[in-house]
Amino acid sequence: MIETNQIEKVSWGKVDGKEVYLYTLTNASGSQLQVSTYGAILVSFLTADKNGTMADVLLGKDSLEDYLKNDCYLGATVGQFANRIAKGKITLDGVDYQLATNNGPNFLHGGDKGFDSHVFDIVEEISEEGINSIVLSHTSPDGFENLPGNVTLKLTISLTDENEVVLDYSATTDKKTIVNFTSHPYFNLKGEGEISDHTLQLNCNFYTPIDETCIPTGEIATVKGTPFDFTEEKVIGHEIDADHEQTKIGIGYDHNLVINKPLGEFGLLGVAYEATTGRAMEVYTTEPGVQFYTGNWLEGDLGKNQTAHIKRQGFCLEAQHYPDSPNQPHFPSVILNPGEEYSQKTVYKFVVK
Ligand code: BGC
């Protein structure tokens, strides 16, 4: 019998001499979210289908040891800058910074050792009517990964009785820097198999096409008439392998779409759905963009039950700023100054239909 509405914490091992904990948050209907303080990783989310049968809708790994090699960023909190920066080069106030080039010629997801690879501190556990939260924090010291500023992220992860996984980020710096935080859960609403049969609807009329190294060309293009048109509900697999330059470059979907809403406003990004289980996931965010990634590089990566993932076993909707924003002045700004507070909020809400 599951004890509902509670926060549980167990020791999960150590990284760099620092104790790591695995949290389990349970809501009133018995859904369970597991979070590791290493990488603030969303490890599992057990939730019911239309018949009340529970399944884990998150891809992940069995143990902390396995997560130490998390090349696909399964469930991880990604920063200080998520996504790609062309050739790892940025310029701030006339000063050039060379960041890691850990994805072909480009920088990706925080560089060699991003926020996903650090043990977060536990700030607080909060249990309130209808919502259980943990507050985690990590500070990236000035110059780490060649990025300026002591950057502190405070991340509140909650599970509500409305079956929402809520991610609330706030960050500060003591020097002008760039930030772009996101979470990298891979979802499979069936809990197994691949995700091409899920449907998706996205409130995105535009996307940012990429060059052959996956860097935005700078164009903000209409999705109309392209495989990126999810303005009406569509099966993910329908045009995933279309004879289209962009899906060819991405080996499927691996692109930033522009969310139809005013900058900074919290609103609905879209809905994913899996018909056999009736599970649907609504996504809400404050962010201007979303990296829609269909797990095209998952094959062979070690998953749960010591079983290798198959290609497209999960899909990601990573709410964030656009890739390469530091080098594309017409994209929404990713600059954070001392005295300012960065904030972002993303909600994954699970319902059955
Ligand atoms: C990127 C993919 C990458 C994946 C895992 C996504 O955000 O866009 O290209 O394979 O993360 O690193």
pLDDT digits (tens, 9 = 90+) for 278-290: 999 999 999 999 9
Tell me whether residue 1 is in a domain: no
CATH code where residue 136 lies: 2.70.98.10
Residue type, 212: E
Tell me whether residue 63 is in a domain: yes
Tell me whether residue 29 is in a domain: yes
293 Cα: distance to centroid of ligand 1 (angstroms): 7
Which residue has tokens 């329908």?
238
Composition of the chain by helix, strand, coil, percent to 5:
10, 45, 45
| pLDDT tens digit sequence for 18-69 | 999 999 999 999 999 999 999 999 999 999 999 999 999 999 999 999 999 9
197 Cα: distance to centroid of ligand 1 (angstroms): 21
Tell me whether residue 283 is in a domain: yes
Q: Give me the residues paired with residue 178 across strands.
A: 335
Nearest CA to ligand 1 atom 4: 72
- pLDDT on residue 143: 98
Q: Is 72 in the pocket of ligand 1 (CB under 6 A)?
A: yes
Q: pLDDT category, 317, cuts 50, 70, 90?
A: very high
Q: Is 23 in the pocket of ligand 1 (CB under 6 A)?
A: no
The total number of structural domains in the chain stands at 1
Q: pLDDT category, 5, cuts 50, 70, 90?
A: confident
| pLDDT tens digit sequence for 182-230 | 999 999 999 999 999 999 999 999 999 999 999 999 999 999 999 999 9
Residue 330 CB coordination number (10 Å):
8
Which residues does the annotation mark as catalytic?
184, 318
On whether the CB atoms of residues 255 and 235 are closer than 8 A, the answer is no
Tell me whether residue 284 is in a domain: yes
Is 185 annotated for ligand binding? Answer: yes
Q: Is 284 in the pocket of ligand 1 (CB under 6 A)?
A: no
Q: Taking the complete model, does pTM exceed 0.85, yes or no?
A: yes
275 Cα: distance to centroid of ligand 1 (angstroms): 26
Percent of the chain at pLDDT > 90 equals 98
Question: Is omega for the bond preceding 291 within 30 degrees of 0, making it cis?
Answer: no
Residue 4 has pLDDT above 80, yes or no: no
Tell me whether residue 306 is in a domain: yes
- pLDDT on residue 274: 98
First-to-last CA distance in the chain?
A: 26
Q: Report the mean per-residue pLDDT for the chain.
A: 97
Identify the domain containing residue 162 by its residue range.
6-352
Residue type, 26: T
Q: Give me the residues paired with residue 155 across strands.
A: 136, 169
Q: Give the residue-averaged pLDDT of 134-151.
A: 98
Tell me whether residue 277 is in a domain: yes
Nearest CA to ligand 1 atom 9: 254
- pLDDT on residue 2: 59
Tell me whether residue 176 is in a domain: yes
